[in-house]
Amino acid sequence: MRGLKAATLLATALFTAPLALAADTARFNWLDYQGADPSDAVVKAGPGQYRNPILTGFYPDPSITRVGDDYYLVTSTFSWFPGIPVFHSRDLVSWTQIGNAIDRPDQLDFKALGLSRGVFAPAIDYHDGTFYILNTCVDCGGNFIITAKDPKGPWSDPIWLPDLEGGIDPSIFFDEDGRTYIVNNGPPEGKPLYEGHRAIWVQELDLKTMKTIGPRKVLVNGGVDLSTKPIWIEGPHIFKKDGYYYLICAEGGTAINHSQVVLRGSSPMGPFTPNPANPILTQRDLDPARPFPVTSAGHADFVLTPKGEWWASFLAIRPYGDDLYNTGRETFLMPVRWVDGWPRLTDPAQPIPLTHARPDLPAQPAPPVPTSGAFRVRDEFDGDRLPPYWMMARNPKGDWYRLSDGALTLKLLPVGLSDHGNPAFWARRQQHHNASITTEMLFTPDQPGERAGLAAVQSDENWIRFTLEKDGARLVARVAARAGKEAPAAGRLLASVAVTPAAAYRMRITARGGQYDFDIAAGPDAAWQPVLTGADGTILSTRKAGGFIGTMIGPFASRAP
């Protein structure tokens, strides 16, 4: 177990002047996260092995690139801000987040979008001294490129790609002859033949003007076999090996039928021929009752090491029940084998391993913030910036938070968790099936409608709120939840327990797969007082909430409008 002092990069402006604890504020002195999964007690990485996933929790759609001996990886964050985390590694196993590519409010505006809109599936690459990230801001501008000389940032403002209108998941390919291409998912030519019928397009890019040029061309219509009505061909990447151009794509949607397929051709403009042994990665053909299942695997990106080894990052999930998972889609790592000129990750009916031999690279020290296996991270809020893994819902609006005097202080805003706004809510990912999130809070509500504490959010319509409030003359700890679009936007009260007034309160949310417990302690040494045990946490699963994210948990404060 390793702890962390909260003092790493976040380019969002934070106000650090001392702020007296006023009636309309709540002060959080620290937040402690501890988590483990059932497999952690059984599956152990031995000497020379690594543990999957390499990034636990809500880290979907990974894209990876190498520059010399350094590797960089990015993932999706949708409408959370700051967005698109940038990770660094030198061994493909030990990853450290070095920044966020979208860290200025004026780069992109997530407006009032749902939490599963915004930035989808970034693709990172490097060429001739410049880093490139291609991405789509869904419902907030379309497809774009941002660039940086240093992957830590700053990253440029978006350069928009209007020719890709209606598409998602763009990526870039730099050919040996100096020409550059963009491939992306887009609507098919003509009318779609069925729900989920999409296509992979290619177009050349002029690097000097950063504009697409020449004709756009369909490389894949529907999928590797249109007669089977394949859905959601997406996440394309092109690379070259042994004279062939390879096109890898995800296919089958993001649920249990997710997969990875590959095609190859003699030109980036096609034509491309599918691998007769597709898919090269999937878990849809395995027994769902197997122990410690990994499912919904796909959306891969490949990288080549200096010694000639091929490796792939990809997303998958680890359910705790019947396709129930609260942690979102996670980042995994596997070697790429080459068979008869085609890449392969898993054979038919082969499970994704939770442990595997490490890449043939010099092993690096464990990262300061653990990303895999069981771990503990404690944020003391004693720096002048939050660590880069902390995020808020949508772009920051107004002066509602402070980092000062060793604490995170939030103003009570008239913005709720269902308001599609920017609530006073800083959050970190739930990264394990079994986790406890504990904080110490200084807060005294003056009137009904004022509340502060912790919130666990999966979407604008699916969340659980654990707060200290006033009920007449009494001080109470309350648990409220919203479970679906038809439920009241303010949530439904699940539990309310009288609490003894104190100078400070410890509050704890404990996740146990599909059940959540809520406890409070009135004072630093007081015994824990149960508020609600065994609440239905499946409302925070992707299956019930929909969307593409994982549960985010952290300090929250609000007041009635």
Count Cβ atoms within 10 A of the Cβ of residue 348 and give its class: 0-12 exposed, 13-18 middle, 19 or more buried: exposed
Query: CA 372 to CA 280: how far, in whole Å?
Result: 25
Residues 85 and 110 in one domain: yes
Residues 378 and 268 in one domain: no
10-14, 22-26, 365-369: the lowest-pLDDT one? 10-14
Structure tokens at 2: 């390793």
CATH number at residue 446: 2.60.120.200
Average confidence (pLDDT) over 382-411: 96
Answer with the one of 296, 322, 357 that is the final residue of a domain.
Answer: 357
Rg (CA), the chain: 23
Given a cut of 90, whether residue 507 has pLDDT beyond it is: yes
**Is 251 designated active site?**
no
According to DSSP, the residues that pair with 15 across neighbouring strands are 402
User: Has residue 38 been placed in a domain?
Assistant: no
Catalytic residue among 37, 40, 61, 125, which? Answer: 61
Angle CA 77–118–326, to nearest 5: 45
Amino acid at 405: D
Compute how many other C-beta atoms are within 10 angstroms of the C-beta atom of residue 294.
21
Average pLDDT, the chain: 95
Quick one: average pLDDT of 233-261? 97
HEC letters along 515-527: EEEEEEEECCCCC
CATH of the domain at 217: 2.115.10.20
CA angle, residues 57, 420, 432, in degrees to nearest 5: 15
Instruction: Give pLDDT, residue 19.
Output: 41
Same domain, 270 and 404: no
pLDDT band, very low/low/confident/very high, at 420 (cuts 50, 70, 90): very high
**CB proximity list for 479: less than 8 A, separation 6 or greater:** 464, 465, 466, 493, 494, 495, 496, 518, 531, 532, 535
Same domain, residue pair 469 and 380: yes
d(CA 304, CA 66): 8
524 — pLDDT class (breaks 50, 70, 90): confident
- Give the separation between CA 451 and CA 479, rounded to whole angstroms: 11
- 386 and 335, same domain (yes or no): no
Distance separating the N- and C-terminal Cα atoms of the chain: 42
Look at residue 14 and tell me if it is in a domain: no
Mean pLDDT computed over 187-196: 97
Q: Each residue of 443-454: pLDDT tens digit?
A: 999 999 999 999
The Cα angle at residue 115 between residues 114 and 119, in degrees rounded to 5 = 105
Identify the CA nearest to 86 among candidates 78, 77, 98.
98
In this structure, of 8-12, 24-28, 114-118, 514-518, the range with the lowest mean pLDDT score is: 8-12
The answer to whether residue 405 sits within a structural domain is: yes
Residue 544 lies in a domain: yes
Q: Do both 391 and 330 map to the same domain?
A: no
Residue 243 burial (10 A CB sphere; 0-12, 13-18, 19+): exposed
pTM: 0.95
Among 248, 321, 303, 310, smallest CA distance to 279 is for 248
Note whether 408 and 441 are within 8 A (CB).
no
Buried/exposed 115-139: b ≥16 CB within 10 Å, e otherwise: bbbbbbbbbbbbeeeebbbbbbbbe
Residue finishing a domain among 357, 388, 419: 357
Supply the pLDDT for residue 3. Answer: 38
Same domain, 312 and 385: no
Burial class (CB in 10 A: 0-12, 13-18, 19+), 69: exposed
E strand or H helix at 543: helix 542-545
- Indicate whether 187 and 313 sit together in one domain: yes
pLDDT at 130: 98
Confidence band (pLDDT; 50, 70, 90) for 20?
very low
Q: Is the model's pLDDT at 8 over the cut of 50?
A: no
| Beta-strand pair 391-393/80-81 | antiparallel
Q: Are residues 352 and 387 in the same domain?
A: no
Bridge pairing between strands 211-221 and 199-206? antiparallel
Per-residue confidence (pLDDT) for residue 22, from 0 to 100: 67
Instruction: Report d(CA 65, CA 123) in Å as an integer.
Output: 9
pLDDT, position 555: 98
pLDDT band at 21 (very low <50, low <70, confident <90, very high): low
pLDDT at 7 over 70: no
Catalytic residue among 103, 125, 169, 234: 234
Same domain, 475 and 505: yes
Q: Which residues span the domain enclosing 190?
A: 54-357
Question: C-alpha angle 489/538/122, rounded to 5°?
Answer: 80
349 belongs to a structural domain? yes
Q: Cα(404)–Cα(159) distance, rounded to whole angstroms?
A: 36
For the residues 125-151, what does the mean pLDDT come to?
98
Boundary-marking domain end, from 303, 327, 357 = 357
Query: Which whole number is the average pLDDT over 179-199?
Result: 97
For residues 326 and 400, state if they share a domain.
no
How confident is the model over 291-318, as a mean pLDDT? Answer: 98
Domain membership of residue 48 (yes or no) is no
Number of domains in the chain: 2
Active site residue 330: no
Residues contacting 192, CB < 8 A, separation 6+? 198
Nearest to 247 by CA among 219, 216, 277, 279: 219
**Structure-model confidence comparison of residues 557 and 384, the more confident one:** 557
**pLDDT given for residue 11 in this prediction:** 37
> Which pairs with CB-CB distance under 8 Å and at least 24 residues apart come from 372-375?
372/50, 372/51, 372/52, 372/53, 372/54, 372/55, 372/56, 373/40, 373/45, 373/51, 373/56, 374/1, 374/35, 374/36, 374/37, 374/40, 374/432, 375/1, 375/2, 375/34, 375/35
Q: Is residue 43 part of a domain?
A: no
- Give counts: helices (H), strands (E), the chain: 1, 40
- Could you tell me if residue 314 is inside a domain? yes
Percent of the chain with pLDDT strictly greater than 70: 96
In tens, the pLDDT along 59-105 reads 999 999 999 999 999 999 999 999 999 999 999 999 999 999 999 99
Shared domain for 493 and 398, answered yes or no, is: yes
Lowest mean pLDDT among 10-19, 108-117, 283-292, 400-409: 10-19
pLDDT confidence of residue 66: 98
